[in-house]
Amino acid sequence: MNTFFCSDDSHQVGEDVIGSATNSQTYILVECPLPWTSEAFNSKWVPQNLRVLVEEVKRAKLPIRFLLIANDVSHKVNHTTLLIYQKEEGLSNGYYKKEFKLANIEQVAAVVQKWLWGISSNSEIETTVTKDILVCTHGSHDKCCARYGAPFYFNVTTRNADLCLDNVRIWKSSHFGGHRFAPTIIDLPEGRYYGRIDIDSFRSILTRTGDIQCLNKVYRGWGILPAALQVLERELMLCNGWDWFNYKVAGKILEQSLDNNTILGELSFEQPSGSLYTYQAKLVRDETKTQQLKSSCNATRELVVTKYAVGSLWVTSSKVMSYST
């Protein structure tokens, strides 16, 4: 009997969760009742036309992440929710959403195909929902998501009023990476990833209150940025406090050493006032945090997981808006 749990192992060796958010341009979220197989889109409720489309998108190497989502009533409702979240270009605070209400899951592929061709659909709807939180509960893919993700989903949904979840939807989600940080979530439309999350840190994230240093332990990074830059964004976030969540950000890697031990990164941010700052940073491989471990419960061998630290940081430009009184 294999009693190895990758999330317990990662926690015990003290792996830092930062730098593990996936950089995706688009998320396509398809409501589909459980159970889901290990490869989610092979599940019995997923129609063949959708399977074919997912494979075509994969073959074309389009930067699109397909996920299945469900809630406690997905198996009873007489419609299917389809969500498309697309990254904003340039300075951004995340993704913008299109939501579709379809008669059944068989219609999903045609609507997505139209969207790919730039054709609008009359099944698009407006909603008052301000957030979609995806909790990975995909236990058939990795048992840690059943062991830690499913109870977290249950706890959060049963404490709806206590957590002020007005206009926030919580979804069970198929695998989106990082199960060794279970319970792990994506917060959309921002596209920020969190892991090893508990009710208290989740409440802080939703309300943007409390000690922001709690994010040091649970913040996996922002999916709009390259993985190596995510540690720089965390540093700036911890310095700026919860106000940071109102800033628009863009980042890129300028240079990378051949051995990947040093990276020159740039991160620009715009405050609501219109003030604009650009920072550059030298990111260096952090030997104290670089670990060798199994990335999932079923992994047969260990991988080296490289972590970076901010070696030096400087402002390269700033445009401060001032208001005369």
Average pLDDT over residues 299-319: 83
Residue that has been written with the tokens 């889901």 in this structure: 36
CA atoms within 13 A on the CB side of 238: 14
Q: Which residue has the higher pLDDT, 221 or 321?
A: 221
Order of all β-strands in the sheet with 276-285? 248-256, 262-270, 276-285, 308-319
Q: Has residue 208 got a pLDDT over 70? A: yes
pTM of the complete model:
0.92
Question: What pLDDT, in 10s, does the model give residues 12-34?
Answer: 665 778 988 999 999 999 999 99
* Burial class of residue 310 (count of CB atoms within 10 Å of its CB; 0-12, 13-18, 19+): middle
Q: Which pLDDT does position 303 carry in this prediction?
A: 73
Measured CA to CA, the distance from residue 215 to residue 200 in angstroms comes to 11
Q: Note the pLDDT of residue 280.
A: 96
- pLDDT surpasses 50 at 185: yes
Residues 98-129: tens digit of each pLDDT: 999 999 999 999 999 999 999 988 899 998 88
The torsion angles phi and psi of 23, rounded to 5 degrees, stand at -85, 100
Which helix (H) or strand (E) segment holds residue 114: the answer is: helix 108-116
Looking at residue 76, the DSSP 8-state letter turns out to be: T
Count Cβ neighbours within 10 Å for each residue of 239-259 and write b for 16 or more, e otherwise.
Answer: eeeeebeebbbbbeeeeeeee
What are the tens digits of pLDDT across the range 241-252?
999 999 999 999
Domains of the chain, first to last: 6-215 (3.40.30.10), 227-319 (3.10.450)
Displacement of CA 217 from its chain's centroid (Å): 16
pLDDT at 21: 94
Q: Would you call 183 exposed, middle or buried from its count of C-beta atoms within 10 A (0-12, 13-18, 19+)?
A: buried
